[in-house]
Structures are given as structure tokens and as C-alpha cells.
Structure 1
Amino acid sequence: MSVMTALTAPLADTFWATSLRRWNTVCRVLFGAMAVGLVTTAPPGGSKYQSLALLGCVVLCHAVLDRFPSNPVVRPHVYLAVLVLGLGGLAYLGSSYAALFMVTLPHYWMFGRTPRASMVFLGLATGATLAGSLLRQGWSAEFFGETTVSTLIVVAVGVLIGLWAHSVVEQSAERARLIEELERTQARLSEAHQRQGAADERERIARDIHDTLAQGFASIIVLAEAARAGLADDPGRSARQLRSIESTARDNLAEARELVASAGQPGPGGERSGSVARTLRRTLDRFAEDTQLTVDADLADLDCDQRTRIALLRCTQESLANVRKHARASTVGVVLVRRPYGMELEITDDGCGFVVEESAGFGLDGMRKRLAELGGRLTVTSSVGDGTRVLAVIPVADEGDA
């Protein structure tokens, strides 16, 4: 439970409970004052004791309800019914009914549970009071004047105050409900953001593993198979391939350490700038040495931040891995240029090609997402028998803005 919810529900209950205890204390004092008034001012006779008995019944019911709120006998509506009868009896006896009416006026709203029930009991109390006064005074000017007018004024004021109090309580309850609902929504959104963040991080790690470690292991497997096949016929070539295996394994180890070191960071590397051409040249030289394919490279010497350099490197590695595994090509062309709209990397091959729409591999989708994170795009053009063209575009700031 949040702090705000804890303040809107339990503290509200505590506030009303404290207010009710204070009011009940005031009521007990006023009940006692009324009893003293009856004893000291009422004329001797049976009506005096009857008035005290009626007042005692009201006070007893109120005390039981206050002290034992969950008792099975004196319920709130039972107390209000006793109060109605007590007011009617005191009005008939002419003993302090007006004082009791004013003292207990808030009880109709406290114990009525709903505005409708409160209004019903308040109407019954008004009718009982007027009926008792009518039986005592008859159809006199005093009844129609002072008694009726004063009673109706007290009732009207009580109704207005009660409706206002109920409105305040309902608004407070609605505000507490809205706050609680808002906090639940915020908690759900926070959980969703956490889940999405975890999913994005898993996807980033999976993409990095695919573009680095997985490609390195695939190269090692291909080189190992070629070296084993050529041990008898061409030991020199097998030795070169073994050195390539060793170099690739070292690179993979370095990549693995870099992935571990960058865990929890927003992205690999940082914002260090450097030449992307030198980075790509090393990758292309290694590819040409391992595959014995012809690589035509035209790489402009461009500086860019680390994230852009890594994105272009991963796209190159993935494209070359696809050429190695699927294309059956003899020549690969790589062009890196600076355009007015950004950096453009084009990788082509003269292999067997494929149907782009039917490609379901992780590599192309990973390249698209990696470029999209930088505001770039990937375009793959290919058809069966006509080779493949991969075009990666990344927008970069003008040199004058750097």
C-alpha cells in the first residue's frame, strides 16, 4: 500500500472515529445536563418521572450503541426509532423535548447510513414531536406559532447541515477512490515499464550475442572444417586457417568481456568518436583471408561516434556472415560514403540471392532495429540468381554542427 493511500483511507477513518468519540462525549454531558434540568426544574408529579424514564431509555440506547457497536440488539436504526419515540413522548409531556431534539439532531446523519434513511428518521422525529405537542396543546395559537415554527426551523437547518456533511463525505470518499485507482494505474504502468525495459534489455543482449559471439563461433566452425579437410593436401593453408581460428577466438573473448562490462549501460561504448573506415577495414581483411573471396572496398575515412560505428560494424558483420553461409558468392563489394542526409553503407554480392519477403532470420531484423535506434533504416534488395544489396543509412549531424 502506498503512502497516499494510507493517508486517504486509514487516516480518514481515524478522523471520523475521533470526531464521533468527541461528539459522543459532548452528548453525554448534554444528556446529563438535561437530566439535571428535569430534576431541578420540572414540577413534581408523574410527568417528571416519565420524562426522566424516556430520557433514560434514549441515553441507555445511545450508550449501548457507543460502547458495543456490534451488539445484536441495539442497532443504529433501533436507536433512532427509540429517539423518535422519546422525542414524541417528551413533547407530549412538555419536558425538554426541544433541547433533546437539538442535541440529537446530528445523530440522524451519523446513524442513518444513507441520506434517504436519515431524512426518513428526521421526518419521523419531526412528526412525533409535532404530534406530541399537538396532543398536549391542542389546536392552539401557541402550537401553530412558536412550537411549529421553531421545530421546522430547527429541522430545516439540520437538513441543510446534514446534506452538506454527506456531500463532503462523499466527495472525500470519491477523492480517496480516485487516488487509489490512480496509484493502482501508476503501479501497473511501472510494472509494464519494468517488463518492457527487461524485454528490451534481453533483446539488446540477444542481438549483441548474435552479431558478435554467434558470428565468431560460426566462423570458427567453418575455418575448423576447412583446416581439417586441407591438412593432408595443403598444410600451409590449414596453418593459416588455424591462425584465423585463434584470432577469431581471441576476438570473441574480447567481445564477450566487452558485453559483460557494458551490462546495465544504455548502450555499448559511449560517445567516443573514431574512424569507422579503419574498423570496417579490419573486418573485411579478416573476411577475405578466411573465405578467399574477392572484396572490393571503397571506404571513406569518416569519423563518427561509438554507437554509429558499432551499428555500421554489426551490419557489415551480419551481411558478411550471410554471404559466407548462404550466398555462394565470389565477389563482395562494400562502399561507405557520406551523403547530405547521413552516412550510407552499401554491401553487395554476386551470389545466388534470395526472396527478401520470405526471410525469417534474426539477423536482418536485428540490423533494422539497431539502425532504427539511431534514426536510421535498412534496405535489402535481392532476387534469386541476382545477388543481394544491403543498404544501411544512419543520419548524422553536419560537421559544422559538431
Structure 2
Amino acid sequence: MLLKPRWWDITVAAGALVIAVGTVFGFGPTSPARQAVALAATAGFVLAYALIARGGIERPVPWRSHAFLVAAFAVITVGCAAAGFMAMLQTLAYPLVWVLGDTRRRGILGSVVVAAATFTGFAINGAPGASGLASGAATAGFSLVFAIALGMWIASIAEYGEERARLLADLTAAQAQVEALSRDRGAAEERERLARDIHDTLAQTLAGLVLLAERAGRRSREGRADAAADAIGEVEQVAREALGEARALVARTAAVPSDQALDAALGRLSDRFRAETGLDIDLRVDTAGAEIDRERQVVMLRCVQELLANVRKHSGASRVAVQVTGAADGGLRLEVADDGAGFDPAAPRTGFGLDGMRERVALAGGTLVMATAPGAGARVVIELPAAPVAASAIRGAEAAS
């Protein structure tokens, strides 16, 4: 309110009207000449406010503060010299010099100027001798102390408000930055999730399509039309599976049956790898009575898919054993072992598959243990906890996007 010119317009107009009415009707001088001087001083104060002070209320400018002090000193001195009642102009001058000064130092100096004007006017108008000076000094001194105390208090409140506004702006900026970082992190996690899903679904299926297409082409060149037709049929079947997986990715749903038939999904996956590679895959699934939620079905199916793909691409194995079992506490256990060439797990890797599989299992709250060595095959054991932990972990990662 102190920095709104509209309110100052009302305050100065009302204050000047009260002083003018008091001057005319009993509180001012009885001499017509002195009344005229007092009214002129009141009008001069209003004019100084309108022409000088008002423009510096919202945007303080030093020259306005200085000019208003000169004008206020003149009109208050003249007014108080005409009538002691004109000291009422202080009630308007003190707050204005604090608002226009914009700093504590300028506010204090302006208050001193107003008090000096009041003392000078009283000295001119007061009784002869020490009593007139004492009256002027008492009036000016009391008003000066009160004005400085009140001005300092209001200035401290204003500074506190400005500090709170600055802290609020900093907090708002920090919250915006945290929100932006959260969005970036969610977007990064979503990209990683999509990369895993594409690698575990479309990339693996397309790799199988390449092998089947090469087989069909080879049989066709050898003149084995029936065998080539069979291979082309397998290509069509795998292509349809790839289309289904792509639609599932678009819909952000897992490419597994909605009836929680993990057994059937693993069976189809094994049949496809047998057809593509000729591997002897021994699949055993024992989840009877276990409540397998959709999230853990995805984890199990993708891990089996990734491990079989690694066997096909790297191990040179002839036999793979896949076993999925359900625990009494609702957990799941997957074990995949092959008789291939094995590898050094500490050696640098360029592929994404194993790292993506570890991350997928970790998001589900599970553990992955790998035992392998060059020439000794490979054995991977994955254990997932009961459904609530896995579900909440994966849903949290999905929700971040």
C-alpha cells in the first residue's frame, strides 16, 4: 500500500483537507493574513506532492527526493511560522521522505530536514525568548524521534518482505530445476526401457528372421523347393510374431499372453529357437499354483529370450537346459545352462544384452548370478522376489516416463 500512488493521492488529499478545515475553523491563526499563509502552505505541500513526490513513489529517483525535501522545508517552515497547528504537515511529510528516500540513510536525513523545518517555523512563530525555542525544539525533537523509529521499523519489515520474496523466487527456480531434472531422468529411463524392449523383442526376432531367410535362400539355391517352402513358412510365422511384438511395444504392454500363460509363451519361444538354430532345448516349467503377475512374466520371458539369443550367437552350444520354478513364498527362479564355449566374464563386452538383462532383473528387485569360463559352458541363475516388490519396482520405473 505504501508504494501505491493511488493510496497516497487519497491520503495527501484527505490530510490536506483536514489541515485546511482545522486552520479555518478554530485550530489555526485568528488573523486572516496568517490563515491565508497557512492555507497557501497547505496548498504548496499538495502541489509539491503532485509535481515532485508522486512520480517517485513506485520508482524512487534521487532528484525527486532532494527536490521534495527543499519544497517540504519551505512550506513547513512558512506554515509553522504562520500557525503552530501547521506542524500537522509532518504527518504527511515524514512517511513521504522515507518512501522517496528508498534507503534508511536518506530516510533519516529527510526526517532531520522535516524536523528542522518544524523547529525553524516554531522559532519564527513562537513566543519571544527561550520558551519559543524550547517549544519548537520539543515539538521537532519528539516528532523526529518518533518518525525515525517508525521509519526504521517499517524499513525492516519491507526488507524482510523483500528477502522472503527473493527466497521464494529462489525456491521456485530450484523447484523448476528439480522438475526439469526429473523429466530428463524420466525420459532417460524411458529411453533405456524402450531400448531393452526393442533389443529383447524386435531385435531378437529380426535376427531370427535373417537366419531363416538365409536358410530358405540356401535351400532354394540347392533346388530343395519343399525345404525352402518350409523355411519361408517359418519366416512368415516369425514375421507375424514380430508384428505382434511391435504392436505390444506401441501399446506399452508386454508381448506375453494376458491369461498369464507363461508356460505357453516359453514353449513358443523355445520352438522358435529350435527351428532357427537346431538347438536341443530342454525346457522345464514348474509354476503350478504360483500367482505370476504380468511384470514378472515379462522379466522371465525376456531373460530366457536374451540367454537363448546369446547361446545362438556366441556359445556354439548343442544343448541348452532351461528351468523355471516357482517358490512357496511367491518368488520365481530361472536357470539356463549350456554346453558351449563359455567366456571370460571379466573381459570387456560391446553388446547390450547382458547389461540390459541385469538392469531389468534389478528393476524387478531380483538377482542374477552367472558362472562361466572359457571352454566350460555357461550357467545363469535368476531369482525374483514375490510379486509386490517386483510389480512396484517396475511400475515405478514405467511411471517415471
Query: TM-score w.r.t. structure 1 length?
Result: 0.81
Most deviating of 28-37 and 117-126:
28-37
Q: Which of 75, 89, 94 pairs up with 1:86? A: 75
Seen in structure 2, the aligned counterparts of structure 1 residues 138 and 114 have a Cα distance that, compared at 3 Å, is farther
Does the 8 Å contact 1:353/1:382 carry over to 2?
A: yes
Q: Which of 173, 180, 186 pairs up with 2:162? A: 173
Seen in structure 2, the aligned counterparts of structure 1 residues 388 and 372 have a Cα distance that, compared at 3 Å, is same
* 2:355 equivalent in structure 1: 365
Seen in structure 2, the aligned counterparts of structure 1 residues 327 and 21 have a Cα distance that, compared at 3 Å, is farther
What one-letter code is carried by the residue in structure 1 that aligns with 2:271?
A: D
> Secondary structure at 2:301's aligned position in 1?
helix
> Secondary structure at 2:260's aligned position in 1?
strand
Most deviating of 241-250 and 271-280:
271-280
Does the 8 Å contact 2:332/2:386 carry over to 1?
A: yes
Seen in structure 2, the aligned counterparts of structure 1 residues 272 and 229 have a Cα distance that, compared at 3 Å, is closer
| Structure-2 separation of matches of 1:77 and 1:63 | 15
Seen in structure 2, the aligned counterparts of structure 1 residues 260 and 390 have a Cα distance that, compared at 3 Å, is same
Correspondence 1:354 to 2:343: yes
Correspondence 1:65 to 2:65: no
* 2:189 equivalent in structure 1: 200
What one-letter code is carried by the residue in structure 1 that aligns with 2:14?
A: V
Q: How many residues align?
A: 380
* 1:6 equivalent in structure 2: none
Shift of 1:379: 2.9
Correspondence 1:20 to 2:8: yes
1:148-159 matches, within 5 Å, as 148-159=137-148
Correspondence 1:182 to 2:171: yes
- Deviation string, structure 1 residues 79-105 (Cα, Å, up to 9, x no partner): 023212433444455554422223423
* 1:374 equivalent in structure 2: 364
Shift of 1:220: 0.6
| Structure-2 separation of matches of 1:369 and 1:276 | 21
- Deviation string, structure 1 residues 168-189 (Cα, Å, up to 9, x no partner): 3233333333333333333333
* 2:119 equivalent in structure 1: 130
* 2:278 equivalent in structure 1: 292
What one-letter code is carried by the residue in structure 1 that aligns with 2:369?
A: T
Most deviating of 84-93 and 387-396:
84-93
Correspondence 1:119 to 2:108: yes
Does the 8 Å contact 1:211/1:314 carry over to 2?
A: yes
* 1:245 equivalent in structure 2: 235
> Secondary structure at 1:346's aligned position in 2?
strand
Does the 8 Å contact 2:115/2:143 carry over to 1?
A: no
Query: TM-score w.r.t. structure 2 length?
Result: 0.81
Shift of 1:325: 1.4
Does the 8 Å contact 1:61/1:74 carry over to 2?
A: no
| Structure-2 separation of matches of 1:360 and 1:118 | 72
What one-letter code is carried by the residue in structure 2 that aligns with 1:246?
A: E
| Structure-1 separation of matches of 2:50 and 2:213 | 94
Shift of 1:239: 3.7
What one-letter code is carried by the residue in structure 1 that aligns with 2:12?
A: N
Seen in structure 2, the aligned counterparts of structure 1 residues 272 and 20 have a Cα distance that, compared at 3 Å, is farther
**Structure 2: gaps of 5 or more residues:** 389-401
* 2:396 equivalent in structure 1: none
What one-letter code is carried by the residue in structure 1 that aligns with 2:238?
A: T
What one-letter code is carried by the residue in structure 2 that aligns with 1:352?
A: A
Does the 8 Å contact 1:51/1:95 carry over to 2?
A: no
* 2:391 equivalent in structure 1: none
Shift of 1:31: 5.7
| Structure-2 separation of matches of 1:22 and 1:51 | 21
Shift of 1:143: 3.2
> Secondary structure at 2:375's aligned position in 1?
coil
Shift of 1:28: 4.0
Seen in structure 2, the aligned counterparts of structure 1 residues 270 and 336 have a Cα distance that, compared at 3 Å, is closer
Does the 8 Å contact 1:227/1:238 carry over to 2?
A: yes
| Structure-1 separation of matches of 2:67 and 2:26 | 25
Seen in structure 2, the aligned counterparts of structure 1 residues 368 and 225 have a Cα distance that, compared at 3 Å, is same
Cα-Cα RMSD = 3.4
Seen in structure 2, the aligned counterparts of structure 1 residues 53 and 165 have a Cα distance that, compared at 3 Å, is same
Identity of aligned residues (%): 31
Q: Which of 41, 55, 59 pairs up with 2:29? A: 41
* 1:104 equivalent in structure 2: 93
| Structure-2 separation of matches of 1:310 and 1:40 | 95
- Deviation string, structure 1 residues 116-170 (Cα, Å, up to 9, x no partner): 21111102222343345446556513533x4333333323332333223223323
What one-letter code is carried by the residue in structure 2 that aligns with 1:335?
A: Q
Does the 8 Å contact 2:29/2:35 carry over to 1?
A: no
